[in-house]
Amino acid sequence: MAELGNPQNTIAILQKYQFHFQKKFGQNFLIDPSVLERIVDAAQITGEDCVLEIGPGIGTMTQYLAERAGKVIAVEIDRALMPVLEDTLSAYDNVTILQADILKVDIAKLSEEQNGGRPFKVVANLPYYITTPILMNLLEHRAPVQSITVMVQKEVAERMQTGPGTKDYGALSLAVQYYALPEIVANVPPNCFIPRPSVGSAVIRLTCYGEPPVEVRDERRMFALIRASFNQRRKTLANGLSNAAGLGITREQVTLALEQMGLPATVRGETLTLEQFAKLSNLLEK
């Protein structure tokens, strides 16, 4: 089987199977070997690893992964791609293809069945229409994963990696940074895909923490505070949090907690670090 990571071989496969791209599945296939190498390098795959690939498409990156990993489990939603994958991955006996929606897969069960309960390394060129649900589902459920190396929209990668005081900083930055260390490892232009996406892309590696980097007694409450703070981005925290339905916090309680943290009552949520949100949440719990 010819290697897929170039435009000619990709087009030949698409024609052989008369494949029609499905926009609803976010199908933009990679056609640049140097980008594929970069992703697989960034994921730091060794022969010991079991890789979970989300959305293998026609199997381009799967071939690269199968060359380096002990095992690859690839989960693809589009039934039309099953005969294609059977063909393009026929030379590899360490690849398992599952036809499923990744949002409905029980990753802990999959790791028991396929990897003796050990954590996966997730690698993917993600479908952009569900990037955040896929990532938050893995992180929030503490799925057994060591790292997640993924192609996403450039703007989303920047939101995940940025810190306080920038316009991109928000609930997604804090949620990702609570569970993992994010590092953007490459920017990728639209001409590396077929069809070309309308936005720029970036590869980001999230290295999952064993323990969260901050101490917080009630995670759910901290994330409720974070969401409320960024829902009302232009408001001071004292106003934003006391207005937020469901939190049951008064203006005075917020002001007092901020004072205990050495912060002025006029402070806005967008300037607080994850550590400060954790502290605020602990103080407001009482």
Chain contacts with ligand SAM (rule: CB under 6 A): 25-30, 54-57, 60-61, 75-78, 101-103, 125, 127, 130
DSSP letter for 26, please.
Answer: T
Answer whether 122's CB lies under 8 Å from 148's CB: yes
Beta carbon of residue 233, minimum distance to ligand SAM (angstroms, whole number): 30
In three-state secondary structure terms, 255 is: helix
* Closer CB to ligand SAM, 26 or 212, in the complex: 26
* Closer CB to ligand SAM, 106 or 275, in the complex: 106
* Closer CB to ligand SAM, 74 or 222, in the complex: 74
Beta carbon of residue 55, minimum distance to ligand SAM (angstroms, whole number): 2
Beta carbon of residue 88, minimum distance to ligand SAM (angstroms, whole number): 11
* Closer CB to ligand SAM, 87 or 270, in the complex: 87
The span from the CA of 25 to the CA of 18, in Å, is 17
* Closer CB to ligand SAM, 10 or 162, in the complex: 10
Of all residues in the shown chain, the one whose CB is closest to ligand SAM is 55
Let me know the angle formed at the C-alpha of 210 by 206 and 211, rounded to the nearest 5 degrees.
Answer: 110
Beta carbon of residue 22, minimum distance to ligand SAM (angstroms, whole number): 7
Answer whether 42's CB lies under 8 Å from 61's CB: no
Number of C-beta neighbours around residue 245 at 10 A: 6
Beta carbon of residue 133, minimum distance to ligand SAM (angstroms, whole number): 9
**Ordered strands of the 120-125 beta sheet:** 95-99, 71-76, 50-54, 120-125, 145-153, 201-208, 180-188
